Amino acid sequence: MSDLLLEVIALDARDAHAAQEGGADRLELVSDMAADGLTPAVATARRVLAATDLPVRAMLRDDAGFAPWSLDQLRAEAVALRDVGITEFVLGWLTDAGTVDVATCQAVIDELDGCKFTFHRALDNAADPLTSWKDVVALGADTVLAAGSGKGVADGLPVLRKLAAMQETDGVAVMAGGGLRAEHVPGLRADGVRRFHVGSAVRPGGWDYPVDAAAVAKWVELIGNCDRLV
């Protein structure tokens, strides 16, 4: 698998600049964290791309939860974001039965024209995350953002450990995120997790405040130090 990676949630260009200054490797661009992250506005995406050299993965999600409000809207948003220069995405939907909604996912993926994408924490909320992993692999995701549990990393460590053991064989990287805390990192690194995702952890004042470059730098140092011990 690839080297260590720290992905930071960005809401705007100011966040993007601070994340890059702190040493982040990639951004997840979203809007409306009150709904756990929705599709960003095209204008915001354009400003973020102008503010950073980092890879930017834009969320495609139009409603809280893991069912689409409008598939046509999602497809149109994917095209609009690609038109302004977004080349990487984040997506994922579930059926009412708690399985991966392969048809919806594929319909949106078809609009990405081969762009890389992360399957987000819908996996944590699936009826069987380990079985759903196989569907995600078949869809072509290169990354799965997971906490291992809908409640967060602290509750999901056993599942994350199992997913980490599957990633080398399946060629899909596990990225730990969702309530991730610094004390989780050494154990996750020992389990083979090499990608990490943070949001509120690099906003000391909470979601009403921007990303703090110094907080990002501390996470970069933490992950790098753990790597030297593994």
Q: How far apart (Å, rounded) are the C-alpha atoms in residues 229 and 118?
A: 28
Around Cβ 77, how many Cβ atoms within 10 Å?
A: 24
**What is the residue range of 173's domain?**
5-225
The stretch 138-161 carries a mean pLDDT of: 96
Residue 190 lies in a domain: yes
Render the burial of 29-60: b for 16+ CB within 10 Å, e for the rest. Answer: bbbebeebbbbbeeebbbbbbebbebebbbbb
Across the range 199-211, mean pLDDT stands at 95
Note whether residue 203 is domain-resident.
Answer: yes
pTM above 0.85? yes
Give pLDDT tens digits for 101-119.
999 999 999 999 999 999 9
In a domain, 142, yes or no: yes
Residue 230 is assigned to a structural domain of this protein: no
- pLDDT score, position 162: 95
* Closest-CA residue to 178 (of 144, 208, 150, 140): 150
Residue 141, in any domain of the structure: yes
Q: What is the pLDDT of residue 230?
A: 46
The two tokens of residue 169 are: 């064989």
- Judge whether 167 lies within some domain: yes
Q: Of 1-10, 145-154, 197-206, 214-223, where does mean pLDDT reach its minimum? A: 1-10
pLDDT band at 168 (very low <50, low <70, confident <90, very high): confident
**Tokens 């909320």, residue?**
125
- For 55-108, the pLDDT digits (tens) are 999 999 999 999 999 999 999 999 999 999 999 999 999 999 999 999 999 999
Under a CB-based contact definition with an 8 Å cutoff, are residues 28 and 9 in contact? yes
- Does residue 172 lie within any of the structural domains? yes
- The count of domains in the chain is 1
The yes-or-no verdict on residue 39 having pLDDT over 50 is: yes
Is residue 2 pLDDT above 80, yes or no?
A: no
Question: Predicted confidence band at 226 (pLDDT cuts at 50, 70, 90)?
Answer: confident
> Would you place residue 228 in the very low, low, confident or very high pLDDT band (cuts 50, 70, 90)?
low
Find, among 195, 197, 174, 186, the residue nearest to 230 by Cα.
Answer: 186
Q: How confident is the model at residue 225 (pLDDT cuts 50, 70, 90)?
A: confident
Helix (H/G/I), strand (E/B), else coil: 107: helix
Mean of all residue pLDDT scores within the chain:
95
Query: What is the domain-level CATH number for residue 148?
Result: 3.20.20.380
Q: Where are the alpha helices (DSSP H) in 52-196?
A: 71-83, 102-109, 129-139, 153-170, 185-190
Read off the tokens for 176.
Answer: 């730990």
Residue 174 domain-assigned?
Answer: yes
Percent of the chain scored above 90 by pLDDT? 94
